[in-house]
Amino acid sequence: MPKLKSDFLQILTQRGFIHQCSDEAGLDALAAKGDVTAYVGYDCTAPSLHIGHLLSIMMLYWLQRTGAGKPIALMGGGTTRVGDPSGKDETRKILSIEDIEANKEAIKDVFARFLRFGAKINDAIMVDNAEWLAPLNYIDFLRDVGRHVSVNRMLTMESVKLRLDRHQELSFIEFNYMLLQAYDYVELANRYACNLQMGGSDQWGNIVTGIDLGRRMGVKHQLYALTCPLLTTSSGAKMGKTASGAVWLNEAQLSAYDYWQYWRNTEDADVARFLKLFTTLPLDEVAKLAALQGSEISEAKKVLATEATALLHGRAKAEAAAETARKTFEQGALAQSLPTVEIKGSDLDGGLGVLTAFVQAGLVKSNGEARRQIQGGGLRINDVAVADEKAKLSQADLTEGGVIKLSLGRKKHVLLKPV
């Protein structure tokens, strides 16, 4: 394989980001000259992105960091109204325009943690595809765009084929999603001289459809496609999913402490890979951490957790989370910076059932789950195992800090604070 000329593709290759590339030599030459303008699209289906989006965000980060070109974060204000069928077994819920706008505003801030926005030539920009999709006239769109896209080819796309093979319904509105995504690429090529679309490997078909559409609609410059792998953990679990739900990037949905804990609990076999993908540590330092064995691997996990959290939430919050964990798990102390859930003070006056308390704290999803955890010795109050499912919390359970510490297992803790 010829030696890569650009730092951008070298880093992505060395760190394990690349799954497919439409023309590696051509893209490498552009990146070496700093002439890449690349975008990734993010639909606004929730008020926060999750760590499944981090791979593509990091690709935009390295594009800018290496001087290879200009990143574009494309908000899917238009495409979210349709719904991407990729990787889905059923139709996405249709959101109101108001909900989409609220979600879009909520997820914007994350990008400022990874990208430099401004007026310089390679500063990142944020664009919303509703700008060109919302005003489209359907008849004109069919005539000017639809005639260039083959239905035969659309039926071979993995996202469509999977649903049809399973005899699962694929609505007409979803079937049009890839056409809209392809049109996004053409619009960005014409408006911003965009020449690269990046995304997860499940987006490959949609991206190359955009390349073909651009050629057919007269885009003068060459367009490229680059995808990253869809990650699973070494045990086969989907990346970013936990028993309690998705690992969100917005602090409103997941605290910096819980985010730190997610990375701290990484499986041993994934530590080296995740250090390469989700931190900016030099690769020689990653290699030293990856070489740690036995109990020492815990130190590598702490570095991973702190560095990954620092990228998203800032160094101060990352180090505070690490210190909270140290105090909680290594010293057995009650750290006031643990996640806190407020309850009414009157709840304790009348006695708050332990089952209800653990559900309110978000440590379990139901009373039934709390009962099962108690039977297995999994729930603790102020570091004492709960033995009686009918027990009630009262003012007497408050610590000197005026809180009650609830724990699920050894690693999940929440403070109940009466107000």
Q: Are 170 and 15 in contact (CB under 8 A)?
A: no
Nearest to 73 by CA among 42, 101, 107: 42
Q: Is there a catalytic annotation at residue 238?
A: yes
Whether 221 is catalytic: no
Tokens, residue 20: 């497919």
Calpha distance 368→392 (Å, rounded):
16
Counted residue by residue, the chain has a size of 419
Going by the DSSP 8-state scheme, the letter that residue 346 receives in this structure is H
Is residue 313 among the annotated active site residues?
no
Which is nearest to 342 in space by CA: 260, 415, 407? 415
Residue 77 backbone dihedrals phi, psi, to 5 degrees = -60, -30
Is 397 a residue of the active site?
no
202 is catalytic: yes
The single residue of 241, 371, 380, 417 carrying the catalytic annotation is 241
From residue 126, how far is each of 1, 118, 129, 204 by CA, in Å? 35, 10, 10, 22
The neighbouring-strand residues paired with 48 are none
Measure the N-to-C terminal CA separation of the chain; round to a whole number of Å: 64
Q: Which of 116, 191, 238, 365 is catalytic?
A: 238
Q: Decide if 104 is catalytic.
A: no
The one catalytic residue among 5, 19, 65, 88: 88
Q: Which of 37, 79, 181, 209 is catalytic?
A: 181
Q: Examine the residue annotation and report whether 19 is marked as an active-site residue of this protein.
A: no
- Decide if 50 is catalytic: yes
Closest residue by Cα to residue 357 from 325, 328, 390: 390
Catalytic member of 10, 13, 222, 242: 242
From 53, 81, 104, 264, the catalytic residue: 53
Catalytic residue among 50, 163, 301, 313: 50
Spot the catalytic one: 5, 19, 65, 92.
92
User: Is residue 88 among the annotated active site residues?
Assistant: yes
Q: Which of 28, 43, 184, 202 is an active site residue?
A: 202
DSSP state of 2: P
The two structure tokens encoding residue 167: 């005899």
Q: HSE (CB half, 13 Å, CA atoms) of 245?
A: 12
Counting beta carbons within 10 angstroms of the beta carbon of residue 269, is it exposed (0 to 12), middle (13 to 18) or buried (19 or more)? exposed
Known catalytic membership, residue 242:
yes
Per residue in 155-173, is it b (16+ CB within 10 Å) or e — as a string?
Answer: eebebbebbeeeeeebbee
Whole-angstrom Cα distance, residue 320 to residue 306?
9
- Triad 57, 112, 20: Cα angle to 5°: 15
Q: And the tokens for 283?
A: 């690769």
Alpha-carbon distance of 209 to 154, in angstroms, equals 9
Of the residues 20, 45, 280, 336, which is catalytic?
45
Which residue numbers are catalytic? 45, 50, 53, 88, 92, 181, 202, 238, 241-242
